[in-house]
Structure 1
Amino acid sequence: MTQTVYVERKSGTDLLPYIPELARLRIEVFRDFPYLYDGTIEYEQKYLQTYIDHPDSVIVLAFDDEDNKIVGASTAIPMRDETAELQKPFLEQGYDLNKVFYCSESVLNKAYRGLGLGVRFFEEREAHAAELGGFEHITFCCVERPADHPRRPADYVPLDQFWNKRGYFKHPELTTTYVWKDLDDTEETAKPMTFWLKHDR
């Protein structure tokens, strides 16, 4: 990692000064495949309020030291504090929500990729879960797009191997849907999401 990038964990109201910049970064990064998210600043700010309202949540922020600009971020929160659509598959499969820690999303400016920040994001979120204590499973979910999707880049490489190296494995029995508006679409549609799971104990 270069000397110009540093990482900090923030929780609760400590996040307030960073919300506008973080919202803009999320919209920028999530426009790319596979998310193709056509978002708004207003929605992002409302979404990020969840992490301010729940003190056990965390956002890992990556800054460029030259101008203190946010270049990446990674979010996480106990599953007990998440929405019903995320909790549902775990409840149906008999998981105790109090023992599941959810790694929400990671976003990173393209110019700062390949510096090890993706690994660092996982390390920091897992460390936060360990400090809270009591979690047996750490999870995240990703969108499922068809192989022949018209916006799939020819050089697109899924992150499956990266996630496997971090100890996460796909669990097809744990699925949900998220609703958002894709680029070029006129209305929101439901997207299938599959969870990946790491057993912490």
Structure 2
Amino acid sequence: MGTDHLTFIRKNGSQIESVFESLGTLRIQVFRDFPYLYEGSLDYEIAYLQTYAKSERAFLLAVYDGSEMVGATTCLPLKDETKEVREPFAKAQLDLDSVFYFGESILLPGYRGLGLGHRFFDEREAHAASFNQYQYTCFCAVDRPDNHPSRPDDYRPNDVFWLKRGYKKNETLKSIFEWPDSGETDSTPKSMTYWMKTL
């Protein structure tokens, strides 16, 4: 299966609000799997996504198969992100105005392996570079132990892909986020480590 039958939609800032429901639903669906094991709710998703709608420089690339959103990726200036995301950079005395933050990069399983992951990074990096202001791009990924009971036997982390894209894991930059794991109702803290690249 190629990508000729897919449609790519770009939205900026407040325009992103028009796809909150589809984007939130997709996030819940993809992040339910290991390593995030996210037991999400659409109400929480829509509230969280307001961060992007409020950022003038935020960017969304969404992938549709017919009328269904099957993939999406987002980014915005780090200074427009939530306190939890900004905090480790501020503590490390990094200039927040020099960093563009990459949010999710999500695809339904049937659409993986088609080069869309690379396209997501290409589009976000080009968007960040278009402002002639930002020196770095970054994203964070959840930390899960290799012996986690929910880790599938055939699980392959994305580390090799990210390294090939030029990103380096920075163990000194971490945030703590809370969400309920799959099948649970109470939120528990999760460590997230940041990966960075020089534009």
User: TM > 0.5 between the two?
Assistant: yes
Q: Return the TM-score normalized by structure 1.
A: 0.95
The Cα shift of 1:82 comes to: 0.9
Say whether residues 1:92 and 2:91 are aligned partners: yes
Q: Deviations over 1:62-107 (max 9, x none)?
A: 122xx23211001111011111121111112121000011001111
Question: CA separation in 2, counterparts of 1:15 and 1:32?
Answer: 25
Please state how far the C-alpha of 1:177 moved relative to its aligned partner: 0.7
In the TM superposition, residue 185 of structure 1 has moved relative to its aligned partner by 2.3
- Whether the 8 Å contact between 1:77 and 1:102 is mirrored in structure 2 is yes
| 3-state SS, counterpart of residue 138 of structure 1 | strand
Map of 2:189 onto structure 1 = 190
Q: Which structure 1 segments of 5+ residues have no match?
A: none
1:69 aligned residue:
68
Equivalent residues in 2 for 1:10-29, closer than 5 Å: 10-29=11-30
Deviation string 1:164-198 (CA, Å, 9 cap, x unpaired) is: 11110101011111111111223101100100000
Q: Give the aligned CA root-mean-square deviation in angstroms.
A: 1.1
Q: For the residues of structure 2 that align with 1:69 and 1:133, how far apart are their CA atoms?
A: 34
Per-residue deviation at 1:47? 1.1
Q: Are the counterparts in 1 of residues 175 and 191 from structure 2 also a CA contact under 8 Å?
A: yes
Matches within 5 A, 1:1-201: 1-64=2-65, 67-200=66-199
Aligned length in residues: 198
Q: Does the CA-based 8 Å contact 2:51-2:82 persist in structure 1?
A: no
- Tell me if the contact between 1:85 and 1:176 (Cα under 8 Å) persists in the aligned partners: yes
Identity %: 46
CA distance in structure 2 between the aligned counterparts of 1:178 and 1:27, rounded to whole angstroms: 16
CA distance in structure 2 between the aligned counterparts of 1:18 and 1:131, rounded to whole angstroms: 24
Is contact 2:8-2:64 (8 Å) kept? yes
Shift of 1:50: 1.4
Scaled by the length of structure 2, the TM-score of the pair is: 0.96
Q: Deviations over 1:38-60 (max 9, x none)?
A: 00011111111211111111111
Letter in 1 for 2:63: A
Amino acid at match of 1:167: G
Paired with 1:82 and 1:23, the residues of 2 have a C-alpha distance of: 17
Q: Deviations over 1:147-172 (max 9, x none)?
A: 11111000000101100111101010
Tell me which stretches of 4 or more aligned residues in structure 1 moved more than 4 Å: none
CA-CA distance at 1:143 after TM superposition: 0.3
**SS, match of residue 130 in structure 2:** helix
